[in-house]
Amino acid sequence: MLSKLRDINFGELADKMLNLIGLEDGWWERVVGLLTYNPSSPMTLDSGFFLFAFLLFGIGYMVVKPVARLRTLYVVLFSLYFYYKLSGIYLLLLLFVAISDFLVGRRVAHSRENGGGKGWVALSVTINVAILAYFKATNFFVDTINNLYGNGTLDWESVVVPAGVSFFVFQSIAYVMDIYRGTIKPLKHLSDYIFLLSFFPKMFLGPLVKAKDFIPQIEAPRLPISRDDLGRAVMLIAGGLIKYGILAKALGTLFVAPAFAGELGDGGMVALMAIYGFTLQIYCDFSGYSDMAVGVALLMGFRLPDNFDAPYHSATITEFWRRWHISLSTWLKDYLYISLGGNRRGSVRTYLNLILTMFLGGLWHGVGLTFIAWGLLHGIALALHKLWLKIIPNAKAVGRDMKWWWRIPAVVFTFHIVAFGWLLFTAKDMSEVEGVLSAIAYRFCIADFVPMVERSAVAFAIMAVGYVMHFLPRKVDNAVMRGITRSGFIGQWLIMLLAIWAVMQCDMLLMANGGGGALPMYAAF
């Protein structure tokens, strides 16, 4: 009997069985291809493979969810697999950071009891900043040397930036510093710390979470989900899919990318509309992904902080940074601005700390003159607003309480400061910035608007819809969420399926149009 079993070719038998149900030869290679890392097709939250994998994950998650330790291990394994599918070998970098700071955090806690710990914190910061510097600055340094002294001076292979490296490095620095400050105690299990760093919804574009808020959720015996939670999760995921997978991609492909490439003309009107288009595109791209992350986490019972709060409603630059990428601005304030002295050392030092904080925030996004200029622009603007508040005591720090006749022009002014910053953010170099501004200053013709809209009618319709959606009052969002909540389980599933179908249709149409236009957000953040 055993000899007969040994003679059976199980691979050939499996192929024959699969052929009987309609699958062709080579199925195993295709399965392996789906399960392994493919650098040309990384997995993202809006990809079909992720949606299928998350469905399978969710079935198992419902089984393990009531048991905290089993739940943690299950989510960690899926998160690590997800990161592998996106970054391949750089999974080892994530594990290195996790193990390193898990051990350092324990040493910090032990040393802190004896009045020490600064050396261990410095070690953690040095390791993490060195990792960021290598991946973010090496290409810039090599290109600069080669441009100065001739190509080939430094024969260095281009460095690929791992997905989400900025986020898990910042998260790890915050964990060690929180232990030193006494805000939290070190985690007992390495798996819990890997969970904190690698939790897949938030890993790549945030939001950054505060350890003191998220660790209790990891350790919680139960993670209840209310009816309102379910409705909010569906709204966030469906809305995020529409913003990220339709508005941002379509606007980038159909208008922003070709406009900046000069394919739509070199007039000032095209240049100005390209800036307005990118201003909406980067918001829809980044906030849409963040919304999906918060929604997916909420479906699992985990509560992540909201990362965006209609930022283009802002009437001051200070208000903008309380609405835009809230978790990053909070991190910069808590771990950089305050560490530099904050506002405790006089007005001049406060202004310098603001400028330095945003300068370093620009370098976090990327090492280059355009990112430096972007950071300095926001730092100087924040310092000037702080000075304005000191000169005019009755001025509003945030702007929410302004009278409408003052708030409206303030919103318009702040919006254009931010939009100019996004030009710095997206430009390849300062010469491109100069070219765009020169077109607006010297080749601007309002009569170009109508033919431009006729040529890119779909893109302008998308831009109009996006801005209208963004400037709708909060009560509209609340009404939509109540409606989704009341729609019940079947209605919510239909909403999700409709959003997924719409994104798939948009992808196919954009591919037929030539693709492109998507933001390289993993590299920028």
Which residues are known to be catalytic? 365
DSSP code string of 421-472: HHHHHH-SSHHHHHHHHHHHHHS--GGGHHHHHHHTHHHHHHHHHHHHHHHS
Decide: 250 and 506 in contact? Cβ < 8 Å: yes
In degrees, rounded to 5, the angle at the alpha carbon of residue 230 between the alpha carbons of residues 224 and 231 is: 150
Residue 289 to residue 50: CA distance in whole angstroms: 14
Residue among 288, 291, 278 nearest 251 (CA): 278
Residue among 500, 508, 510 nearest 52 (CA): 500
Residue 289 burial (10 A CB sphere; 0-12, 13-18, 19+): buried
The region, left, alpha or beta by phi > 0 then psi within -120 to 50, assigned to residue 517 is left
Please state the separation of Cα 118 from the chain's center in Å: 31
- Which residues are CB-contacts of 26 (< 8 A; sequence separation ≥ 6)? none
Asked whether the CA dihedral 463, 465, 471, 477 is positive or negative, the reply is negative
Decide: 249 and 507 in contact? Cβ < 8 Å: yes
The b/e string for 482-517 (b: 16+ C-beta within 10 A; e otherwise) is eebbeeeeeebeebbeebbeebeebbeebeeeeeeb
Task: Please give the single-letter amino acid code of residue 352.
Answer: L
Residue 71 to residue 514: CA distance in whole angstroms: 43
In degrees, rounded to 5, the angle at the alpha carbon of residue 283 between the alpha carbons of residues 428 and 401 is: 125
Q: What are phi and psi of 3, to 5 degrees?
A: -65, -35
The first and second tokens of residue 278, run together, are 């990118």
Indicate the helix (H) or strand (E) that contains 78.
helix 68-87
The first and second tokens of residue 490, run together, are 């079947």
Decide: 234 and 496 in contact? Cβ < 8 Å: yes
**Measured between alpha carbons, how far apart are the two ends of the chain, in Å?**
60
Q: Number of helices and strands (H, E) in the chain?
A: 25, 0
In degrees, rounded to 5, the angle at the alpha carbon of residue 282 between the alpha carbons of residues 497 and 507 is: 35
